[in-house]
Amino acid sequence: MKSLVYRVRLAAALVIATAVIVLSGLAVSHAEIYGYQDKEGRWHFPDIKAQGEITRKMDRVRVDKDYYLASYMPLIHSASTKYGVDEALIKAIVMAESRYDRTAISRKGAVGLMQLMPETAGRFNVSNPFSPKDNIEGGVHYLKTLLTRFHNDIVLAVAAYNAGPGRVEACGGIPPIPETKQFVRRVLYYYYQFKYAQN
């Protein structure tokens, strides 16, 4: 009897040990760092001390036809050309904001593909924020003003898109707002996926 109990306990211990090793391996294999390279060739990395949390919480959405509609691509290309904004960045913001759901409405009242607040939509003459064409046009126009304001610093422009340019300027960087930090991480993550796909 004692021998049987010993064998059962040993088997249970081996199962638990194997599970720990496998899970540890998965955690290590997904431990990636996301950063960006500025126009002078220097690499920057946002606050990534919670990288493990990112790995757990982000579902690592695969950027493919299952997550956005190809019919939006000509609209994005047109706005990219008109305002001189990288298509990959536009696609990344749309993915992070609405996952290409043109009917998306946030709890704060942001609407459409690029989640325009009513005052932003009014400022950029977006008469129907649920219209993919109007929403992308207004959102990219706004993004261009932010890129210009922050000297084409993608991270600061993306942070300002979420938190507002005033807060970014007041902080001299990404505001210490969890939502904004997470938004910047998500956009950078998608941005480099789309950028890689373009090339």
Catalytic residues: 97
Tokens representing 21? 């090793």
Spell out the alpha helix ranges (H) of the chain.
2-29, 51-57, 73-83, 87-98, 118-123, 132-149, 154-163, 165-171, 178-198
Contact 168, 150 (CB under 8 A): yes
H/E element holding 43?
strand 43-44
Do the Cβ atoms of 184 and 49 come closer than 8 Å?
Answer: no
Reference 140, options 190, 73, 76; nearest CA is 76
Distance of CA 32 to the CA centre of its chain: 15
Closest CA to 113 of 143, 84, 81: 143
Eight-state DSSP code of residue 31: -
